[in-house]
Amino acid sequence: MIYNIPFFAVILLIAVGMYAVIFKRNLIKIAIGITIVESGVNLFLITLGYREGGVAPIYTNLPSGVILPGGMVLPIPQALTLTSIVIGVAILALMLSFIIRIYQYYGTLDSRKVRRLKE
Amino acid sequence: MNIDWLLTHSPALLIAIPLLAAFLTPLIDRVSRRARDAFVIAVLIAAEIIMVILAWDVFTVGTHIYTMGASSTAATIPAHAAVPIRIVLEVDGMGAFMGLISATVSLAAGLYSLAFVKKETGQGRYYTLLLLMLVGMFGMEFTGDIFNMFVFLEVLSIASAALIAFRFYHGDAVEGAFKYCVISSLGALMVLFAIGLLYGQYNLLNIAALAGVMKYTTLDRIALVMLVAAFAMKCGAVPMHMWTPDSYTVAPAPITAMLVAASQASLYALFRICFSLYGLTLDVTTMGIIIISLGLLSMFVGVTMALPQKDIKRLMSYHAVSQTGYMLLGVGVGLYLLGKSDFDTYGMAAMEGGIFHIINHALYKGLLFLTAGAIFYKVKTRNLNEMGGLAHSMKYTTIFFMIGALAIAGIPPFNGFASKLLIYESAYHVSPILSIIAMLVSIITLASFVKVFHSAFMGPPMENTEAGEVPKSMIIGMAVLAAGIILFGLFPGWVVSNIVHPAAQALASQAGYIGAVTGGGV
């Protein structure tokens, strides 16, 4: 049971993030929501690769007494997470720069007022 | 550098050349603008040529496999392992088919951009992002690795979002871009979560290897729902279409044409997931019905929303949603019949129709968006009520618009007719209602484009606008696509048997897709 706690955290993070994206009106909060969803997904990937008592998957720096390959945590989910974090930073930067421009143009961050396209 | 070397390495080269060129572009931009324009066009032409060579080889010989970083490109499974570990690029008929679309549309968009963005600032970055979009599309279409597909999906989304906001001094451009960015990053995160679910069960990321061990457990079903929802959202199927008109409308016209091709790359990913990753393990009847209903909804809602629009690009965007419905319908019928005895008789024809429609749509919708851009370039408005009589001064644009409009309405001898007829004939066998709705939508499409033609091109010449045709490079860009439409419309039989049939065959045959990777070990 104790090892399932990270998965509950994953569900919680994704739910909170989705809530923010769908129901919040402030554009900054929408951006924050996406970041939270992303953290949830990253946590999910990391948890998948974790093994109880495992060491970092670096061959050259292996402590003595570790049985391979079971003694290491899985390296692939970590590589996936790293990639996903980098992509997330790019998306976040892009979204924030859009928000700056929207604020300059409309003078508000309320998504109900930023809707020139609908007319 | 002989032809064999080029062929062997072409899948990697097609991704590497535009990627490196994209980041060289700002440097060359510092030296000279003309040099940069020449460089970008040279890269796009090179990509098109390599793509044609690769596609020809795939269609005549068979699937291309390229293992990144292995001693031999065919060594998909390393000597000490039992499963594929390295990133594998797998170009089968369907991938090559989609690659042809991406390369052609990008070339036309690049040529058109030369004049279209001439007065804007930040052109160096514009072309960088344009090339990155091409990289993203090629990557999604060629990769055999599901995580790699996520990465290229994000490359494509980021580049597209930035380009939608290219004219940031219009507030609405940034608004459309923000919407696109939120939708695509949420979609991509759902894809990543699904990848995590699949990896957690099978310890695999290679699509072919995953398909080989797919058990269709509850977790697989959850992953399927997330993947299908995310990719259907990215390709603009109703009820997840709301971003399409907003972002298509505000993007510069050549980028809108690219976005059509980008949406189709997501459509390709959707089909790849359904056919190659899950294949017959999933409940094809239910999934087929879901895809068919997505298609019908998109067709009908798209076209009815298009009718009352006054903004020319917004109207065309809703038509893009509606046309995506035809592709979903055609391929959905194929999925519905997959593995049943009727598949060989009309299931295959339906898939051919749906897949043929993908390339036709890329050509004529790309062309229509480019003509809308040409109108905007001269008249400086997208509002249909404020324009008129353009046929007097813009005769080439008028001809191109007519070609595009007749093709989208499915009037012979243009290409839209050929693919729609295939869909009508085969969907009729599943249920006559499908064909009736498809034909009805086609008629409404024609009505809507008659309206556009009348209000934009007919009537007395407009006063107080600069008369004359758009610059040459824009005409060449449109001509590339118009030539494709006419050729495909005049020789549909040749196109279907030589290009579309191998693509449909590759999509339908899951065993072939798996065997190409797992059978080619050391």
B222 at interface of A, judged by CB pairs closer than 8 A: no
Q: pLDDT band at B465, cuts 50/70/90?
A: low
| B199/A48 Cβ within 8 A | yes
Number of independent structural domains in chain B = 1
Q: Residue B411 above 80 pLDDT? A: yes
Q: Residue A92 above 70 pLDDT? A: yes
Domain edges within chain A = 2-53+68-118
User: Which two tokens mark A46?
Assistant: 């990391």
* Domain boundaries, position B401: 283-490
Q: Classify residue A92 by burial, with Cβ atoms within 10 Å: 0-12, 13-18, 19+.
A: middle
Contact between B448 and B455 (Cβ < 8 Å): no
Which of B157, B169, B186, B246 best tests the A interface by mutation, with the highest count of A CBs <10 A? B186
Q: What is the pLDDT of residue A52?
A: 78
- The reply to whether omega before B26 is within 30° of 0 (cis) is no
Q: Residue B522 above 50 pLDDT? A: no
A41 at interface of B, judged by CB pairs closer than 8 A: yes
Contacts of B249 in chain A (CB under 8 A): 117
Arithmetic mean of pLDDT over chain A: 87
Q: What is the pLDDT of residue B521?
A: 40
Contact between B375 and B456 (Cβ < 8 Å): yes
Question: Distance between CA atoms of B493 and A100, rounded to whole angstroms?
Answer: 53
Give the one of A41, A48, A117 whose C-beta lies nearest to B189's C-beta.
Answer: A41
Query: B501, B224, B480, B494: which is closest to B349 by C-alpha?
Result: B501
User: Which two tokens mark B300?
Assistant: 């009908």
Question: Distance between CA atoms of B387 and B384, rounded to whole angstroms?
Answer: 6
With tokens 């990543």, the residue in question is B192
DSSP state of B85: -
Contacts of A45 in chain B (CB under 8 A): 192, 196, 199
Cα distance from A31 to chain B (closest Cα, Å)?
8
User: Which two tokens mark B113?
Assistant: 């951009």
Measured torsion, CA atoms of residues B228, B230, B233, B238, in degrees rounded to the nearest 10: 40
Residue B181 burial (CB count, 10 A): 28
Contact between B187 and B233 (Cβ < 8 Å): yes
Chain centre to alpha carbon of residue B236:
11
Domain presence at residue B307: yes
The pLDDT > 70 percentage for chain B reads 98
Residue A73: C-alpha distances to residues A78, B23, B33, B123 (Å): 9, 36, 51, 46
Give the one of B147, B157, B186 whose C-beta lies nearest to A34's C-beta.
Answer: B186
Give the one of B175, B188, B189 whose C-beta lies nearest to A116's C-beta.
Answer: B175
Domain presence at residue B211: no
Contact between B149 and B140 (Cβ < 8 Å): yes
User: Which two tokens mark B277?
Assistant: 């990753």
Q: What is the pLDDT of residue B391?
A: 86
Question: Distance between CA atoms of B245 and B249, rounded to whole angstroms?
Answer: 6
Residues A17-39 have a mean pLDDT of 95
Domain presence at residue B505: no
Q: What is the pLDDT of residue B72?
A: 83
A86 at interface of B, judged by CB pairs closer than 8 A: no
Q: Which of B37-46, B54-63, B453-462 has the lowest mean pLDDT?
A: B453-462
Residues A34-54 have a mean pLDDT of 90
Residues B59-81 have a mean pLDDT of 86
Contacts of B165 in chain A (CB under 8 A): 98, 101
Q: Which of A44-48, A95-99, B170-174, B421-425 has the lowest mean pLDDT?
A: B170-174
Q: What is the pLDDT of residue B125?
A: 93
Nearest 5°: the CA angle B324, B326, B332 is 100
Which of B148, B189, B190, B205 best tests the A interface by mutation, with the highest count of A CBs <10 A? B189
Tell me phi and psi for residue B125, to 5 degrees.
Answer: -70, -35
Cα distance from A116 to chain B (closest Cα, Å)?
6
Q: Residue B462 above 90 pLDDT? A: no
A109 at interface of B, judged by CB pairs closer than 8 A: no
Domain presence at residue B461: yes
User: Which two tokens mark B47?
Assistant: 């990509």
Cα distance from A33 to chain B (closest Cα, Å)?
10
How many CB pairs below 8 Å do chains A and B form together?
A: 85
Cα distance from B89 to chain A (closest Cα, Å)?
18
DSSP state of B71: S
Question: Distance between CA atoms of B276 and B513, rounded to whole angstroms?
Answer: 7
Q: What is the pLDDT of residue B52?
A: 95
Give the one of A14, A30, A101 whose C-beta lies nearest to B174's C-beta.
Answer: A101
Which of A13, A35, A98, A109 best tests the B interface by mutation, with the highest count of B CBs <10 A? A98
| A27/B147 Cβ within 8 A | no
Q: What is the pLDDT of residue A51?
A: 80
B81 at interface of A, judged by CB pairs closer than 8 A: no
Q: What is the pLDDT of residues B78-93, one digit of tens each?
A: 887 888 888 999 999 9
User: Whole-model pTM?
Assistant: 0.94
Q: What is the pLDDT of residues B93-109, one digit of tens each?
A: 999 999 999 999 999 99
Q: Residue A111 above 80 pLDDT? A: yes
Q: Residue B64 above 60 pLDDT? A: yes
Q: What is the pLDDT of residues B351-404, one digit of tens each?
A: 999 999 999 999 999 999 999 999 998 888 888 888 888 888 888 999 999 999
Which of A35, A85, A101 best tests the B interface by mutation, with the highest count of B CBs <10 A? A101
Q: Residue B1 above 70 pLDDT? A: no
Query: B251, B257, B365, B354: which is closest to B302 by C-alpha?
Result: B365
DSSP state of B277: I
Question: Distance between CA atoms of B22 and B131, rounded to whole angstroms?
Answer: 5
Question: Distance between CA atoms of B246 and B250, rounded to whole angstroms?
Answer: 7
Domain presence at residue B446: yes
User: Which two tokens mark B443?
Assistant: 């008629």
User: Which two tokens mark B227?
Assistant: 């993947």
ipTM: 0.94
Arithmetic mean of pLDDT over chain B: 91
Smallest CA–CA distance from B85 into chain A, residue: A76
Q: What is the pLDDT of residues B239-275, one digit of tens each?
A: 888 899 999 999 999 999 999 999 999 999 999 999 9
Q: Residue B219 above 50 pLDDT? A: yes
User: Which residues make Cβ contacts (< 8 Å) with residue B253, sequence separation at least 6?
Assistant: B112, B116, B313, B369, B370, B372, B373, B374, B376, B377
- The reply to whether omega before B413 is within 30° of 0 (cis) is yes
| B171/A101 Cβ within 8 A | yes
Q: Residue B314 above 60 pLDDT? A: yes
Q: Residue B463 above 80 pLDDT? A: no
Query: B357, B330, B323: which is closest to B441 by C-alpha?
Result: B323
Report the DSSP beta bridge partners of residue B90: B65
DSSP state of B394: -
B186 at interface of A, judged by CB pairs closer than 8 A: yes
Which of B146, B185, B201 best tests the A interface by mutation, with the highest count of A CBs <10 A? B185
Give the one of A27, A44, A101 whose C-beta lies nearest to B196's C-beta.
Answer: A44
Contacts of B176 in chain A (CB under 8 A): 117
Residues B308-316 have a mean pLDDT of 92
Q: Residue A118 above 70 pLDDT? A: no
**Topology (CATH level 3) of domain A2-53+68-118:** Helix Hairpins (1.10.287)
Q: Residue A119 above 60 pLDDT? A: no
Residues B204-228 have a mean pLDDT of 92
A95 at interface of B, judged by CB pairs closer than 8 A: yes
Tell me phi and psi for residue B63, to 5 degrees.
Answer: -60, 140
Query: A49, A45, A52, A115: which is closest to A87 by C-alpha?
Result: A45
Domain presence at residue B134: no
Per-residue burial over B248-280, b if 16 or more Cβ lie within 10 Å, else e, is bbbbbbbbbbbbbbbbbbbbbbbbbbbbbbbbe
Residues B12-16 have a mean pLDDT of 95
Q: What is the pLDDT of residue A69?
A: 66
The pLDDT > 90 percentage for chain B reads 70
Give the one of A21, A84, A94 whose C-beta lies nearest to B186's C-beta.
Answer: A21
Query: B340, B138, B379: which is closest to B253 by C-alpha?
Result: B379
Q: Classify residue A50 by burial, with Cβ atoms within 10 Å: 0-12, 13-18, 19+.
A: middle
Cα distance from A14 to chain B (closest Cα, Å)?
10
Host H or E run for residue A108:
none
The pLDDT > 70 percentage for chain A reads 93
Domain presence at residue B330: yes
B159 at interface of A, judged by CB pairs closer than 8 A: no
